[in-house]
Structure 1
Amino acid sequence: MPDQVLTLAEAAAEQAPLRLLIVTDAWAPQVNGVVRTLTTMVEMLRARGDMVEVVGPDRFNSLPMPGYAEIRLAVAPRRKLAQIVDAYMPCAVHIATEGPLGWAMRGICRRRGWPFTTAFHTKFAEYLEARARVPAAWSWRVLRHFHRPARAVMAATPSLRTELARQGFAHIRPWTRGVDLSRFRPEPRDAFESLPRPIFLYAGRVAVEKNIAAFLSLDLPGSKVVIGDGPQRAELAARFPSAHFLGYRENGVLARSYAGADVFVFPSRTDTFGLVLLEALASGTPVAAFPVTGPLDVVTDPRIGALDEDLRAACLRALDCDRAAARAHAEAFSWDASAAQFRDNLVRFSR
């Protein structure tokens, strides 16, 4: 009987509203998949009655990230962060990123004996190797150290979880992603009426780790379109003058752009998921990508896209894919399921 009573009490506690603190170096006004994911989690948890406080770099003195000015990094945040934490009095802590705020919150939790969870959003080892020639093995060592005390390390896909386990990570838990099916739809398809078809579209950050040059250098029919901005935009626009660089597109314009394309090209080899893949598929647009983490986990049906080390071959094969099947595949990815997984992975504590 005592075991049964304890189990019931624990179950009741799990259903009680949370007082969650999320600490993240990626937050508005940044525009990327991490921010979109966290914003959606906050909205959905608050809608179910949980209290959620997000601490991002906007609350601190900050400096631009070298080579990526739109990303601000908090400077010496620990003292102010501790004050924010004490004022809020959380019963669960999630550390979303491995930047200055993430390290500071990790230190606070370690000193106080608080359990916490983390997530693996970005392949920083490959990112730093691509941008700064830092050996990936060095970065993996730092990342293992950062995540080691976490009660759960959340990762979006099976292939990423396998890679993390191979790299020596423990307590790895699934946390999938979703897509807004009411926002991203197959119709209308009139976004690029003035451009020669077929339309091959990339959408996302325009930065070296996204490997966009691998797409723009391909010999393809029709038009190549790039939506998004970032530190490599000017360089790529100069190198590939025939491509169409449209900058940021938000609200309905972005969704219409997805739907208006014939193929969505995802040349990145360093993403852990790629929300844009789901957004394109929800818009009925098939995907062409390399067979790497992210595309391997999302593009699991040859009717909805093509994965190939020959990216040009993948792009041409994707032209023959089934747009209705692409939409149907995306409908299986739910933000409700993502939020439920995220909440179940969190660890409560008493102050």
Structure 2
Amino acid sequence: MGARAAILHDASLTDYLTGIDATPPLRIAIVSDAWIPQVNGVVRTLGRTIKELVELGHHVDVIAPSDFRSLPCPTYPEIRLALMPKRGMARQLDRLQPEAIHIATEGPLGHAARAYCQARKFPFSTAYHTRFPEYVAERFAVPKALSYALLRRFHAPAQSIMVATRSIAEDLASRGFRNIRAWSRGVDLELFKPRVNEIPDLLRNLPRPLHLYVGRVAVEKNIEAFLSLDLPGTKVVVGDGPQRASLQRRFPKTVFAGAKHGVELAQHYAAADVFVFPSLTDTFGLVVLEALASGIPVAAFPVAGPKDVLGNSGAGALDWDLARAVQRAIAVPPAQCRAHAETFSWRAATDQFLTNLALISKPVQV
């Protein structure tokens, strides 16, 4: 295995994976400050990518906050932050002996893994999942320039920085980030699909049209921009988060369905008439793809994420006037939405992930 790994460091990953003889699987360590039981785009992306990697024959270990002593993250108590993880990280990575290390997040675990790799001169890859500078500026009035400078320093040693969309790649490049690589996303087309006569009881008798939001109920999602709109029918919010109680008090006519998962979540998507995505800061928006796969058109602002996902498909509408976007989107045929969602594949996204990995060269074993 050591000899093959040493050869692999200088060969293309595609050649390695498609060689004439049967090749051994890669041992991949993924380090993430965000992991189950959290429900967010990072966790869902990593979870599905790991599933694809395992199906391809690779071995994946996740190093997460549950492996360490931790404390609640300020303003996000459900997110745990590892306490002084540097030594524990080194012990785990020494034990696992991975052939590739991917650092998914820029939190305490991400910094510990970065320090480990730099100390041992191991190459590694990172990902830019979350626009933290915008989130931090929204909550604590920290200048975005300062936050971006810190993130640029964090990602600078990475052999590749994986990003989900062209818009985010261009934005990071304009801010001095280098080694940016594409890592797209997919959607579960078996779960998220048009579902005739599967309307959840909560939504069955509500005035139409149903305007749906799915996702975390938090300030950075800009949900108030949706709930403040004067729209006919009913607004529905699926999800939970720190802003839910205050928004429920302010918008009593909105139906707050809480968090949903699996088939129940898919049924809520399929029951809607239009999906409204008010976020200004998401780097992709998996929920946009899930809505489209369910045959539901999307209304959003023309920002990174939705404009990349929708592209020129006509499967929704982008407008700085969100109400106008809703009016335009609701007329899109369901089949057009579904057809566009079918162009996204988790297997293709996982192939990108594999191509972007930084592979560790190991001594040849005689």
Runs of at least 5 residues in structure 1 that lack an aligned partner in the other structure: 1-5
Q: Which residue of 1 aligns with 2:30?
A: 22
2:268 maps to 1:257: yes
Distance 1:8 1:151, change over 3 A: closer
Equivalent in 145, 166, 173 of residue 137 of structure 1: 145
Q: Which residue of 2 aligns with 1:238?
A: 249
Distance apart, 1:301 and its partner CA: 3.5
Range that drifts further, 181-190 or 198-207: 181-190
Q: Which residue of 2 aligns with 1:205?
A: 216
Q: Which residue of 2 aligns with 1:95?
A: 103
Q: Which residue of 1 aligns with 2:4?
A: none
Structure of higher RCO (CA pairs closer than 8 Å, 6+ residues apart):
2
- 3-state SS, counterpart of residue 241 of structure 1: coil
* Residues 122 and 272 in structure 1, CA contact (< 8 A), matched pair in contact too: yes
- 3-state SS, counterpart of residue 201 of structure 1: strand
Q: Which residue of 2 aligns with 1:3?
A: none
Deviation string, structure 1 residues 167-213 (Cα, Å, up to 9, x no partner): 11000000000000000001135232211100000000000000000
Q: Which residue of 2 aligns with 1:342?
A: 353
Distance apart, 1:14 and its partner CA: 4.9
Deviation string, structure 1 residues 248-289 (Cα, Å, up to 9, x no partner): 111111001001000100000000000000000000000000
* Residues 237 and 243 in structure 1, CA contact (< 8 A), matched pair in contact too: yes
Distance 1:27 1:7, change over 3 A: closer
Q: Which residue of 2 aligns with 1:301?
A: 312
Equivalent in 248, 262, 275 of residue 286 of structure 2: 275
Q: Which residue of 2 aligns with 1:114?
A: 122
Q: Which residue of 1 aligns with 2:177?
A: 169
Matches of 1:89 and 1:300 in 2, distance apart? 41
Distance apart, 1:157 and its partner CA: 0.6
* Residues 303 and 322 in structure 1, CA contact (< 8 A), matched pair in contact too: no
* Residues 195 and 270 in structure 2, CA contact (< 8 A), matched pair in contact too: yes
Distance apart, 1:350 and its partner CA: 2.6
Matches of 2:331 and 2:313 in 1, distance apart? 10
Distance apart, 1:303 and its partner CA: 3.1
- 3-state SS, counterpart of residue 338 of structure 1: helix
Distance 1:307 1:344, change over 3 A: same
Matches of 1:225 and 1:155 in 2, distance apart? 30
2:347 maps to 1:333: no
* Residues 9 and 361 in structure 2, CA contact (< 8 A), matched pair in contact too: no
Deviation string, structure 1 residues 287-332 (Cα, Å, up to 9, x no partner): 0000000011011236311100001111111111111100000000
Identity score, percent: 55
2:11 maps to 1:10: yes
* Residues 25 and 101 in structure 1, CA contact (< 8 A), matched pair in contact too: yes
- 3-state SS, counterpart of residue 62 of structure 2: strand
Q: Which residue of 2 aligns with 1:68?
A: 76
The residue type equivalent to 1:246 in the other structure is A
Runs of at least 5 residues in structure 2 that lack an aligned partner in the other structure: 1-6
Matches of 1:7 and 1:248 in 2, distance apart? 44
Matches of 2:30 and 2:104 in 1, distance apart? 7
Range that drifts further, 7-16 or 135-144: 7-16
Matches of 1:149 and 1:34 in 2, distance apart? 22
Matches of 1:131 and 1:7 in 2, distance apart? 45
The residue type equivalent to 1:101 in the other structure is L
**TM-score where L is the length of structure 2:** 0.92
Distance apart, 1:8 and its partner CA: 12
Q: Which residue of 2 aligns with 1:181?
A: 189
- Pairs aligned (count): 346
**TM-score where L is the length of structure 1:** 0.96
